[in-house]
């Protein structure tokens, strides 16, 4: 994959949430991106790090994670292709969470000095990046609500709806069929559920005809029903053209 195609992944994501123009697209196409592949369960950024790079997700799924003093993991958000999970590292001197691969993944590293230079010279790009971090914050708020106040069945339906919408918006899937190769343990850490409870909720969604699964492939057979089951509303994703 060439640097140009890497930048295209980022550009497509920014186009779903902002009105960047051709002039900004030309700048972003020339942004220096260093690609690297990682296996599952690799910490790309660790709590306490002082990175000089941010990274864009090119393939796979990344999770932001926190650990309790007893070593229990909470996944606080998922990131898909085009996302820059640690963009806030431009303005925070120390990272306060981990960013880890939940599947095999390819990411592209962008130096902070390059990002700062682009933002200083191109206010519309800076605004698009700022909007991206605000949407990340909106997703965090939704996740707090999902884990803190929704029942297990609703939590599971909601997270599947979110992943399908976000992956569709950047062209990673068609219709409502997604390859989501994350473990049930990771889903449990995202939803505050045991692996057994995760399995039970997936079985219930299948039994009611809302989803069908084959391996890591998830098909939302009844999208309207799944969104109702998940108390899901796309407003918090702030996409220009939300998927139906």
Q: What's the rounded Cα separation, in Å, for the pair 33 and 73?
A: 30
Task: Give residue 242's pLDDT band: very low, low, confident or very high (50, 70, 90).
Answer: confident
Residue 132 near residue 17 (C-beta atoms within 8 A): yes
Q: Is 146 exposed, middle or buried (0-12, 13-18, 19+ CB in 10 A)?
A: buried
Q: Is 71 exposed, middle or buried (0-12, 13-18, 19+ CB in 10 A)?
A: exposed
* CATH code: domain of residue 108: 2.60.120.10
* CATH code: domain of residue 210: 1.10.10.10
Please write the tens of the pLDDT for every residue from 190-240: 999 999 999 999 999 999 999 999 999 999 999 999 999 999 999 999 998
Look at residue 244 and tell me if it is in a domain: no
Q: 105, 124, 143: which is the final residue of a domain?
A: 143
**pLDDT score for 243:** 60
- Could you tell me if 199 and 83 lie in one domain? no
Q: 119, 143, 167: which is the final residue of a domain?
A: 143
Q: Give the mean model confidence (pLDDT) for residues 120-143.
A: 97
- Could you tell me if 135 and 161 lie in one domain? no
- Could you tell me if 61 and 124 lie in one domain? yes
Residue with tokens 């473990």: 183
Q: Does the pLDDT of residue 73 top 70, yes or no?
A: yes
Q: Closest by alpha carbon to 101, among 167, 40, 179?
A: 40
Look at residue 1 and tell me if it is in a domain: no
How many domains would you assign to the chain?
2
Q: Coil, strand, or helix at residue 110?
A: strand
Q: 113, 143, 173: which is the final residue of a domain?
A: 143
Domain containing residue 63: 6-143
Q: Closest by alpha carbon to 115, among 215, 17, 21, 27?
A: 27
Which tokens hold the place of 35? 């690609």
Look at residue 127 and tell me if it is in a domain: yes
Look at residue 242 and tell me if it is in a domain: no
């Amino acid at each position: 994959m060439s640097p140009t195609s890497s930048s295209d992944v980022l550009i497509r994501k920014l186009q779903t949430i902002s009105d960047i123009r051709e002039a900004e697209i030309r700048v972003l196409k020339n942004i220096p991106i260093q690609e690297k592949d990682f296996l599952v369960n690799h910490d790309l950024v660790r709590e306490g790090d002082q990175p000089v790079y941010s990274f864009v997700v090119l393939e796979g799924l990344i999770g932001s994670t926190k650990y309790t003093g007893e070593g229990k993991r909470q996944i606080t958000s998922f990131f898909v292709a085009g996302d820059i999970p640690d963009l806030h590292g431009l303005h925070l001197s120390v990272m306060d969470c981990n960013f880890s691969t939940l599947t095999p993944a390819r990411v592209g590293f962008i130096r902070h000095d390059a990002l700062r230079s682009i933002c200083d010279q191109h206010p519309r790009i800076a605004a698009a990046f700022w909007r991206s971090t605000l949407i990340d914050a909106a997703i965090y708020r939704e996740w707090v609500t999902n884990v803190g106040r929704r029942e297990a069945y609703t939590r599971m339906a909601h997270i599947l709806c979110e992943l399908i919408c976000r992956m569709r918006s950047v062209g990673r899937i068609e219709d409502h069929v997604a390859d989501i190769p994350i473990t049930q343990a990771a889903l449990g850490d995202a939803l505050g559920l045991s692996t057994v409870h995760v399995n039970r909720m997936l079985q219930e969604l299948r039994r009611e005809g809302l989803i069908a699964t084959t391996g890591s492939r998830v098909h939302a057979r009844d999208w309207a029903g799944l969104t109702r089951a998940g108390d899901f509303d796309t407003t918090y994703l702030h996409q220009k053209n939300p998927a139906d």
